[in-house]
Structure 1
Amino acid sequence: MAAPAALQRSVVSPAGRHTASLIFLHGSGDTGQGARTWIKQILNQDMAFQHIKVIYPTAPARPYTPMKGAFSTVWFDRYKISNDCPEHIESIDSMCQRLTDLINDEIKNGIAKNRILIGGFSMGGGMAMHLAYRFHQDLAGVFALSSFLNKDSSVYQALKRNQSVLPELFQCHGTADELVLYSWGEETNKMLKSLGVSASLHTFPNLNHELSRTEIEKLKTWIVKKLPVEAAKTNE
């Protein structure tokens, strides 16, 4: 069987020398280009850095159970949008393999794994937590915006068996979110902390299931902290 085609991606190149990479996963039904455009509209410019390449991949379309099996660009399937049902682990693990290929592409381009950040909005943030905490615990960090994990998530099961240092989690959530309830995000944060993750949770009053300028600017500050500019190498 032929290997799946590489994920489509929209890329914001760094202004200077490329020494780190950021992978941003869109929410369900969106695309990489759509997420990039949304952030660009909020900031009035691309989310761009001097040394960090920003990659917005697009999930392949698949049948999505909450939409009665209609095709949608989602990272994985859900039995329903709830935090108290089983995870659709087959589709999650399949996409973890596809996204691992994307991480490996960056490594082949000379980027150290501890210079790669992954995260996303809504389902994208959930996908990023699965990818990092189950399969790539040596990434630079993880961010999850308006995201959650199911109560008995396989992420929690993996962390209970973990003995290694874990990537830091930067989490944001609007307290007025009516799709992904703030209480789900808060519960995820508390559970991950109890399992050894250094996790921060930033709340935004009156913010629904959306992004805000304040949130993105706070995220950018954290990104640069986790992926600082490397000093120029000198020839001795």
Structure 2
Amino acid sequence: MAAPCSLSRCVVAPAGKHTASVIFLHGSGDSGPGIRSWIREILKQDLAFKHIKVIFPTAPARPYTPMNGAVSNVWFDRYKISISSPEHLESVDSMCQVLTNLINEEVKTGIMKNRILLGGFSMGGGMAMHLAYRQHRDVAGVFALSSFLNTGSVLYQELKEIESPPRIITVPRDCR
């Protein structure tokens, strides 16, 4: 199923001059406003900065195989929710193009790609890793919260081919 060309989103505008952007992707079944609200509840304030715009896009509604084809806001489809399941690359790659359009919108406003941070929670974190490491290695960075990549992820091969692979930091369970 082809993804739409643009995404609805909510934005936390910077308090001052906009010089950087964070694109924060929600988990499966959620929305941009939903993840923003969750962060606001945890922090007791918006994720807001003097010079950084924070963008919370909403994934398109699409049939989701793990829910027996029920429609849900998901970044990509999965054959099943299992680390050992193959990736549904067609839907991942389709969404990478849609999210590339969002990155390009930020670039058109004058934000350099090395001033754009990509990240997300759960499925959004996996999507952000695919987007950053497979198509946009020149962004400022990537983060994934409470997320995973499938054991046979194409991303692992991509990372092996990078001359200076990114440093991956994991947080020990007892620190979470």
Coarse TM-score class (shorter-chain normalised): over 0.9
| 8 Å Cα contact 2:118/2:143 also seen in 1 | yes
Cα shift at 1:44: 1.3
Determine whether 1:52 maps to 2:61.
Answer: no
Query: Helix, strand or coil for the counterpart of 2:56?
Result: strand
Q: What are the superposed Cα offsets for residues 159-209 of structure 1, whole Å, 9 maximum, x if unpaired?
A: 22223x4xxxxxxxxxxxxxxxxxxxxxxxxxxxxxx321111235496xx
| 8 Å Cα contact 2:125/2:147 also seen in 1 | yes
Partner of 2:109: 109
Task: For 1:4 and 1:82, locate their aligned partners in 2 and report how far apart those are by CA, in whole Å.
Answer: 27
**Which residue among 162, 166, 171 is the counterpart of 1:202?**
171
Structure 2 matches for 1:145-156, cutoff 5 A? 145-156=145-156
Bigger relative CO (Cα 8 Å, ≥ 6 apart)? 2
Amino acid at match of 2:59: A
Comparing 26-35 with 76-85, greater Cα deviation is found at: 76-85
Task: For 2:51 and 2:175, locate their aligned partners in 1 and report how far apart those are by CA, in whole Å.
Answer: 34
Task: For 1:161 and 1:204, locate their aligned partners in 2 and report how far apart those are by CA, in whole Å.
Answer: 30
Partner of 2:17: 17
Structure 2 CA distance for partners of 1:206 and 1:113, relative to 1, 3 Å: closer
Partner of 1:229: none
Query: Helix, strand or coil for the counterpart of 2:170?
Result: strand
Query: Helix, strand or coil for the counterpart of 1:202?
Result: coil
Task: For 1:148 and 1:61, locate their aligned partners in 2 and report how far apart those are by CA, in whole Å.
Answer: 22
Amino acid at match of 1:116: I
**What is the RMSD computed on CA atoms of the aligned residues?**
1.5
> Quick check: which has more Rg, 1 or 2?
1
Aligned-residue identity in percent: 68
Query: Helix, strand or coil for the counterpart of 2:172?
Result: strand
Task: For 2:75 and 2:83, locate their aligned partners in 1 and report how far apart those are by CA, in whole Å.
Answer: 17
Partner of 1:91: 91
Return structure 1 stretches of 4+ with deviation > 4 angstroms.
none
Query: Helix, strand or coil for the counterpart of 1:199?
Result: coil
Q: What are the superposed Cα offsets for residues 112-133 of structure 1, whole Å, 9 maximum, x if unpaired?
A: 0000000000000000000000
Amino acid at match of 1:201: T
Aligned residue pairs, count: 174
TM-score w.r.t. length of structure 2: 0.95
Amino acid at match of 2:120: G
Q: What are the superposed Cα offsets for residues 81-121 of structure 1, whole Å, 9 maximum, x if unpaired?
A: 11111100000000000000000000000000000000000
TM-score w.r.t. length of structure 1: 0.71
| 8 Å Cα contact 2:9/2:57 also seen in 1 | yes
Task: For 1:28 and 1:200, locate their aligned partners in 2 and report how far apart those are by CA, in whole Å.
Answer: 23
Unaligned ranges ≥5, structure 1:
166-195, 208-236
Structure 2 CA distance for partners of 1:39 and 1:161, relative to 1, 3 Å: same
Cα shift at 1:41: 1.1
Comparing 68-77 with 154-163, greater Cα deviation is found at: 154-163
